[in-house]
Structure 1
Amino acid sequence: MPGFANDPASGIIEGQFELTHDELKGCFDPIVEQIIELIQGQIDAIFGTGSVPKYVFLVGGFGESDYLMSRLSAHNFGTARRIEIISPDDAWSTVSRGAVLRGLEGSLVKNRRCRRNYGTRINTIFDLTIHHEEDAFYSTDAGMKMARNQVSWIVEKGVDTDSNTKFQLKCGTTFQKDEKLRRGAILVASDLDIAPHSYRDKSVHDLCFLMADLSMVPESEFDLVNINRQTCLSAQFTIEMAFESAEIKFQLYFKGNCYGQVKTTFH
């Protein structure tokens, strides 16, 4: 602390500020406790899948801290066998070296396991064994009893996927002549191992709003349908989902042609 006068009572001597062991420890302990809590949560999640973790690797600059190593080594993670804490050589440069490898060789992760279920809210044919009467309604278009507030699951939790795997959300709609075709859908998610049928389930939450824009498609490309004695247009289109390293990519397809990325608004 250059320029400060000596103040032994405050720990300032010859331009330097003295910190005691306990003061410095008090700065680090809250962060170390958070790290231990984070690692404990990851270990518990691994056990939840039926696997047994063996090692924890410390990387990055703080990964070379002897104090962090000692605290983790002394912590009881509650496992049947002891977990070995490892701080590899040159741990401080792991992140930067990994970034260079990612740029030179592309993603080294070939497969990912989906962390949750993904689907969309739909109306479907009423089934007394599955649906609740409060969700029932009569559809004049379909001419039958239907159930609202249901979910069609597109991707199941735990499925292996990569950037080349495409999941399809098939959509259908009718609209009036001279109307620009823009339709939205809400992508929902659930963390349960077995996804529920109902949108009302507490585990189901809205993830993002997808807007499919087919307004540039000529009207002649759509099919003609008759609804309540009125001639309308009908379109069947597909929204493709692909899981990439840090995002979910959505693209719009109609009659085999790609019409670009789907506009996405996350909740």
Structure 2
Amino acid sequence: MERLLAAGHLVTVVNRGSAPPPAGVDHVVADRNDEAALAAALGARSFDVVVDQVCYTPVQAAVAARVFAGRTGRYVMTSTIEVYDPATAALPPVPVGVPVPEGVVDPAGWPVDLELPWDDGAFLESQYAEGKRQAEAVLTRAGGFAFASVRSAHVLGGGAREFTGRLAHYTERIAEGRAIAVHAEPLPTVFIHHEELADLLLWAAGAAFTGPLNACSDGELDVHGLAAAVAARVGRDPVCRTVPAGGPASPFSFDRHYAMSNARAKELGFAFSRTADWLPGAVAEALDSRSASD
């Protein structure tokens, strides 16, 4: 939002009113799940581009497709690396060690079931990845605007504002000498700094590409590499506890290869940073937030 305002764009924020936007923003209060109320709240407004940060289900996507058809020329949805989780869907095989390209999950052909209980919180939590896959599929087929989805890697950074708390999990455990639960042979994944993701979304809003786009910084990292980066800042060696096969592990410890290819974004002109360059700063922010809360 701040980047759009700084670039001189007119910005409209649509939410339920729980989080006020910054000054200079047109604020529309509406529940996106209520199609009639959303359309009424928008009135005669039209947009060059819509950036959807909170689309989690095909039902929400279908509402958005109907409401914004004819109101915008471009629609960008924030999606997730979780769409590639082989534990949540039957996906085409990718050789171990090969970063996953966008075509492994093709929204144009992905099946959609609007009758599933998408309004049930417990169901939605358990079907997060499938909800994103089906939301992409609905918007891809909708027509009425050019559609692109940004499949974000695991987002880190922001200190106390880091919404997942996963980096805090590592800083706290390593600082306190508590064990990190890891798989016997953890495989790598990819990350992106929250500022870089914001830069990419701004770029995507003004670009012309359509379809899915992977968003991740350069450099894969497994759980031991992440713990080592945290330990270097904490000044204390990490303690790791190996879990049995199929057992619960710490976030970012994966027993399957979980890294995306960012080649398409690079070919389209976006330059990524390296995870190794920004991760120490993100760890420092997490440590500062921990100290402030003690």
State whether TM-score is above 0.5: no
* Greater relative contact order structure (CA < 8 Å, 6+ sep): 2
Tell me the TM-score range normalised by the shorter chain: under 0.3
Question: In proportion to residue count, which structure has more helix?
Answer: 2
**TM score, norm. by length of structure 2:** 0.20
**TM score, norm. by length of structure 1:** 0.21
* Larger-gyration structure (1/2): 1
